[in-house]
Amino acid sequence: MLLGIGAVGAFLAIDLGAVAYANKWIGPEGTLTRETFMAGFRKVFGLHPGFRRNHAKGVVVSGYFDSNGSGRDLSKAAVFSRGRTPVIGRFSLSGGNPMMADAPATARGLGLAFTFPDATQWRMALLNLPVFVDNSPQGFYDRLLASKNDPATGKPDPAAMSAFEKAHPESAAAMAVIKQHPPTTGFADSTYSSLITFFFVDDAGRRTPVRWAFVPMQTALPPHPGTTNSLFDALVRQLKSGSLQWRLLLTVGRPEDPVTDATLPWPTDRRTVDAGVLTLTGVATEAPGNARDVNFDPLVLPNGIEPSDDPLLSARSAVYAASYRARTGEPKSPSAVQVDEVAP
Amino acid sequence: MSTPARYPLRTRILHWVTAVLVFSMLFIGFVMVNSIGSYAALRSIHMTLGVTVLVIVVLRVANRLTHRAPKLPDTVGWFEHKLVVGSELMMYGLLLAQPLVGWAMVSATGKPVEVFGSLHLPRIAPFNADLYFVLRQTHSLLAFVLVAVIALHVSAVLLHTLTLRDGMLSRMGFALRRRDAPTNSANMDTQEPAAVQAAVRERTNAANTGRHRGPGRH
């Protein structure tokens, strides 16, 4: 009798203990989890139900990519064969407040999903920066907290930011690089970069480190100063009067180039391959069933593109998933950028 | 001392393979949703194992229809018999539903469903964020129901085997003492893989001990 009860007790202790440990109900504290990031966004930006936890403010676009076939030498991905691929996407501004006023210095994002919703897709979340600010999930988290606006001044606490830069010299160095590339007029004339390195795999299985960027082929309409959605409105106006185009440039890394640290720029003399042209033709307000409901998870990759070991990749995938799960279960309210309300 | 009634060998192998896989799946699932650095790698493993479990459970259902369950020990009364049948049905239902919900959930995000590195499965649910959320919550709920049901299942078998000493576990066990007891007849267990043997050795030994203790309970 005692043997049986003891065995059951031992089994339950191990079984349920393993479950509790896996769920982090017990065990060491202090490791970053997706919940840490969710709480961090909540703390810094407040809770905005139904919106992305970061890059909350955005507008939806659609178009296509015309490949010229040149990328095929680097990657066997079908998207690089000569021909046209449908694309959906979303322009955004960094930050978790979906109603904030547009500011030129705020990082501009472009999420793209090639061949959505096919069985193979290529998704990416790009920024108008030359390098990324952080090279680790911890760095991102620390910077997020340091960037919290002081309620008294409405600006981040300078002491917190300088403490962050002291603790993260890699981010301080990246910010110096970013300072040398001031933001352009608007969304339409920004260069959007992968920042993170991926490996392109050709038919023979040869792996090449690649960073890519979409380089604008037009100037941007100037934003109307003093309006809340100045940058978005200018983009919407421009897209209503015609399509916008970006050239996809693949930058080919050399063996000595860093592949797991997105704060480090590659030398400017690296070979680039012009793989084709992205044309955006449509613009729409965020709505059910459009790119509002797409998670631009950078690990959704076609055969022929593989992730590097950059620690930001898995972290982004995890935190994006947490944000997606949270917001899909929350009540929705209208997005700040209403395409119909923008005069052409 | 008679040979205990056992499930057919193929059923026992399928059972223990499922047990190992499902326990791994639950553990990986709970770890991955709390993990930052290993999330991506664990998600790939989780989805691949999930599809594997689905295939095995479909095979198990088909296999289970080919035979009747071996006779339960006399210690199992009328009401408990109903519980045994009900819990078996529930277990099959859960083990089928959980991977299907996971597959549908990924489908509803509009993402490709990629397993075994590069095999792309068709989507089995429309791209719909509201549907995704319902399926996502269901996936977590079913995971915890599975934890509870498995805990009850193992506890019940252990109590029967060790407290009532009725050889309950041996219905799903393997004869490991054949050389010690060569007179045992009906040796259908000549080919079980070593790994499975090892996995169940301890429990089966315990069961054997119980069985060999004497004729009393039978």
Q: pLDDT tens across A202-213, in order?
A: 999 999 999 999
pLDDT of residue B118: 81
Whether residue B209 is predicted with pLDDT greater than 50 in this model: the reply is no
A173 pLDDT higher than 60: yes
Question: pLDDT at residue A99 above 90?
Answer: yes
* B3 belongs to a structural domain: no
CB A336 within 8 A of CB A99: yes
Does B86 fall in a domain?
Answer: yes
Say whether A325 and B136 touch across the interface (CB within 8 A): yes
Quote the minimal CA–CA distance from B45 to chain A in Å. 14
Residue B207's pLDDT band (cuts 50, 70, 90)? very low
Taking one residue from A and the other from B, the number of pairs with CB-CB distance under 8 angstroms is 123
Select the residue of B36, B121, B133 nearest A314 (Cβ to Cβ): B36
Task: Look up residue A228 and give its two tokens.
Answer: 């809340």
Structural domain span for residue B203: 9-176+184-209
pLDDT score at B3: 60
Task: Calculate mean pLDDT across residues A156-181.
Answer: 96
- The pLDDT assigned to B30 comes to 94
- Count of CB atoms situated within 10 Å of the CB of A162: 12
Closest-CA residue of A relative to B134 is A329
What is the pTM (predicted TM-score) of this model? 0.89
Whether residue B214 lies inside any domain: the answer is: no
Residue predicted with more confidence, B69 or A43 = A43
Number of domains in chain B: 1
Q: Choose the mutation target among B26, B39, B114 for the interface with A, i.e. most A CBs under 10 Å.
A: B39
Give B159→chain A minimum CA distance, Å.
Answer: 5
pLDDT tens readout for residues A111-129: 999 999 888 999 999 999 9
Chain-wide mean pLDDT for chain B? 83
* Residue closest to A234 by CA, chosen among A221, A245, A244, A243: A221
Tell me what the mean pLDDT of segment B53-75 comes to: 92
Confidence class for position B177, pLDDT limits 50, 70, 90: low
Q: Residue B30: in which H helix or E strand, if any?
A: helix B9-32
Work out the pLDDT band at A189, boundaries 50, 70, 90.
Answer: very high
Active site residue A48: no
Identify the pLDDT of residue A22: 83
Q: Share the mean pLDDT of chain A.
A: 95
Window from A157-166, A220-229, A234-243, B183-192 with minimum mean pLDDT: B183-192
Give the nearest chain A residue to B202 (CA atoms).
A7
Residue A312 tokens read as 């930001």
Contact B150 A22 (CB under 8 A): no
- Parallel/antiparallel/unpaired status of strands A198-201 and A149-150: unpaired
Asked, for residue B1, whether it belongs to a domain, the answer is no
DSSP string, B83-136: HHHHHHHHHHHHHHHHHHHHHHHHHHTT--EEETTTEEEPP-S-S-HHHHHHHH
Residue B215 inside a domain? The answer is: no
- For residues A231 and A93, the answer to whether their CB atoms sit within 8 Å is yes
Distance of CA A172 to the CA centre of its chain: 20
pLDDT at B216 over 50: no
Residue B192, pLDDT > 60, answer no
Q: Residue A151's pLDDT is what?
A: 84
Residue A69 backbone class (left: φ over 0; alpha: ψ -120 to 50; beta: rest)? left
Distance from CA of A213 to the nearest CA of B (A): 23
Contact A32 B128 (CB under 8 A): no
Q: Which residue among A55, A168, A181, A224 is the active-site one?
A: A55
CA distance A223 to A244: 16
- In terms of pLDDT, which residue wins out, B212 or A96? A96
d(CA A274, CA A228): 36
Give A288's contacts in chain B (Cβ within 8 Å): 129-130
Above 50 in pLDDT, residue B218?
A: no
3-state secondary structure chain A: CHHHHHHHHHHHHHHHHHHHHHCCCCCCCCCCCHHHHHHHHHHHHCCCCCCCCCCCEEEEEEEEEEECCHHHHCCCCHHHCCEEEEEEEEEEECCCCCCCCCCCCCCEEEEEEECCCCCCCEEEEEECCCCCCCCCHHHHHHHHHHCCEECCCCEECHHHHHHHHHHCHHHHHHHHHHHCCCCCCCCCCCCEECCCCEEEECCCCCEEEEEEEEEECCCCCCCCCCCCCHHHHHHHHHHHHCCEEEEEEEEECCCCCCCCCCCCCCCCCCCEEEEEEEEEEEEECCCCCCHHHCCCCCCCCCCCEEECCCHHHHHHHHHHHHHHHHHHCCCCCCCCCCHHHCCC
Given the structure tokens 């970013």, which residue do they identify? A178
Residues of B with CB under 8 A from a CB of A: 26-27, 29-31, 33-41, 43, 109-113, 118, 120-123, 127-130, 132-133, 136-137, 147, 150-151, 154-155, 158-159, 161-164, 206
In this complex, the residue of A5, A32, A293 whose CB is nearest that of residue B36 is A32
Name the more confident of B149 and B186.
B149
Least confident of A200-204, A273-277, B20-24, B80-84: B80-84
Q: What's the gap in Å between the CA of B78 and the closest CA on chain A?
A: 22
Percentage above 70 pLDDT, chain A: 99
Residue B165 or A197, more confident: A197
**pLDDT-above-90 percentage for chain A:** 86
pLDDT category, B132, cuts 50, 70, 90?
Answer: very high
The minimal CB distance from B38 to the residues A295, A314, A325 is found for A314
pLDDT of residue A97: 96
Q: Is B4 helix (H, G, I), strand (E, B) or coil?
A: coil
> Sign of dihedral through CA atoms B39, B40, B43, B48?
negative
Select from A7, A113, A317 the Cβ nearest to the Cβ of B158. Answer: A7
Cα B111 to Cα B216: distance, rounded to the nearest angstrom? 60
Is residue A268 packed enough to be buried (19+ CB in 10 Å), middle (13-18) or exposed (0-12)? exposed
What tokens does B212 get?
């060999």
Among B23, B30, B34, which would you mutate to test the A interface (most chain A Cβ atoms within 10 Å of its Cβ)?
B34
Work out the minimum CA distance from B54 to partner chain A, whole angstroms: 20
Contact B37, A314 (CB under 8 A): yes
Instruction: Give the CATH number for residue B73.
Output: 1.20.950
Closest CB to A119 among B35, B36, B122: B122
Which of B24, B111, B202 to mutate: most A Cβ within 10 Å?
B111
Which pLDDT score is estimated for A289?
96
Per-residue pLDDT at B2: 52
Nearest alpha-carbon partner for A50 in B133, B141, B106, B32: B133
For chain B, percent of residues with pLDDT exceeding 90: 61
Report how far apart, in Å, the C-alpha atoms of A233 and of each of A54, A211, A240, A288, B135 are: 20, 30, 10, 21, 36
- A292-to-A102, A209, B125, B174 alpha-carbon distances in Å: 19, 31, 18, 55
Across residues A180-196, what is the average pLDDT? 97
Q: Residue A233 contacts by C-beta under 8 Å, 6 or more apart in sequence?
A: A223, A224, A227, A337, A342
Q: Which of B20, B24, B36 to substitute to test the interface with A, most A CBs within 10 Å?
A: B36
The pLDDT score that the predictor gives to residue B165 is 87
pLDDT at B176 over 80: no
Neighboring chain B residues of A299 at a CB cutoff of 8 Å: 40
The reply to whether B217 falls in a domain is no
Cα-only R_g, chain B: 20
Comparing CA positions, the residue from A234, A261, A198, A274 lying closest to residue A91 is A234
Which of A22, A289, A314 lies nearest to residue B40, judging by beta carbons?
A: A314
Tokens 């408990």 correspond to what residue? B80
Tell me how far CA of residue A59 lies from CA of A62, A111, A125, A320, B155, in angstroms. Answer: 10, 10, 14, 18, 54
User: Which pLDDT band holds residue A283 (cuts at 50, 70, 90)?
Assistant: very high
Nearest chain B Cα distance for residue A103, angstroms: 30
- B189 in helix, strand or coil? coil
**Res A24: pLDDT:** 79
Confidence of residue B70 (pLDDT cuts 50, 70, 90): confident
With CA atoms as reference, the chain B residue closest to A117 would be B110
pLDDT at position A326 is 97
- For residue B174, what pLDDT is reported? 85
pLDDT (mean) for A46-60: 98
Q: How confident is the model at residue A29 (pLDDT cuts 50, 70, 90)?
A: low
- ∠ Cα A33 A302 B25 (to 5°): 45
Q: Is B191 exposed, middle or buried (0-12, 13-18, 19+ CB in 10 A)?
A: exposed
Per the listing, tokens 């990324």 go with A132
Specify the higher pLDDT residue, B118 or B141: B141
Task: Tell me whether residue B50 is in a domain.
Answer: yes
Short-list A101, A333, A56, A90, CA closest to A229: A101
Which residue in chain A is spatially nearest to B118 when comparing CA positions? Answer: A303
Q: Which residues pair with A92 in a beta bridge?
A: A58, A109
